[in-house]
Amino acid sequence: MRRAVIIANRGAGSFSPGRLESACRALEHAGLEVAQRLCSDFDTMTEAAQEAGSGKDSPLVVAAGGDGTINAVLNGLAGRGATCAILPLGTANVLALELGLDSAETATQRIIAGTTRPFTAGLIRGGSRTSRFFLMAGAGLDGFIVRGVTLASKKRLGKGAYLLSALEHLARWEEGRLRVIAGSADFSCHSLVVCNAARYGGTFTLAPEASIFSPGLEVVAVTGSSRLAHLGLVRETLLGTPGRGGSIVRLTADKILIEGVKPLQADGDDWGDTPVEIVAEPAYADIIV
């Protein structure tokens, strides 16, 4: 009998006790021993994952919630060689979409099947703080937008809270610069996103070559400081025609140094400010696919 610990975020966008219980019943019917941990904040989720992953029996650890929940749970598994899975119950569920998990029911069937693959994480180091992301980390415009999203607006508007924050930031535009050193590249930019997954915001493809199963990270940077330069990247992403040249730099790296001071978001949550160093961590853990 396999043992699964489900760490659930009761505040996630599409969480309901009924959906969670339905998944648990299906897993138990398939022969898994299931334990639940209901949490209300990310710190508690990380602690629950640390506790679950520290036992001798190394249970399957399931993150039940959105991308913020997944980030918190997977961060708690650092260095434990754990096996994890996703039960998508959030607002955007971007990592779930990367894995082809379009519903909690699909995810439950994948968990029962038990097929796994090792995946890459992105490690962020800044000052005395260290943590990981699994989708993307964005400095500059991305960071300002996420920092402007409140919990109240997110609950009220869902994904629309990010659009509202973007419009507010466009009205008070800043033109500060960042220096980026990635492999042999050394350049100045206004904003950048370090991608560990292809999708951005759920349905749009920002970095088609990025994958959590690749050993490196994809960097997408906007060198121009104007609103127009960023609108070019937005247009390409919306149309599904990502390109290089002009004000857009794209490259692959396993280590990125970002100098200068701007807000940084990681997996859709405010991380703090740059400067930071970002490093790819291949084979971080195994994940149910």
pLDDT of residue 279: 98
In tens, the pLDDT along 72-85 reads: 999 999 878 789 99
**Strand bridging mode 204-205 / 199-200:** antiparallel
Give me the residue spans of the domains in the chain.
3-114, 124-282
10-residue mean pLDDT series, the chain (289 residues): 89 85 96 95 95 81 93 91 90 88 95 96 95 96 91 78 86 94 96 95 86 97 92 79 79 98 94 97 95
Q: Are 6 and 36 in contact (CB under 8 A)?
A: yes
The architecture (CATH level 2) of 124-282 comes to: Sandwich (2.60)
Q: Widest CA span of the chain, in angstroms?
A: 58
Fold of 3-114: Rossmann fold (3.40.50)
pLDDT of residue 245: 64
pLDDT of residue 1: 55
In tens, the pLDDT along 152-183 reads: 887 788 778 888 888 888 888 999 999 999 99
CA distance 41 to 36: 15
- Cα 16 to the center of its chain, rounded Å: 22
Six token digits for residue 152: 């109240």
Helix, strand, or coil (residue 247):
coil
pLDDT of residue 70: 94
pLDDT of residue 243: 66
Six token digits for residue 280: 């790819």
Six token digits for residue 166: 């973007």
Q: Classify burial at 105, counting beta carbons within 10 Å of its beta carbon; exposed 0-12, middle 13-18, buried 19 or more.
A: middle
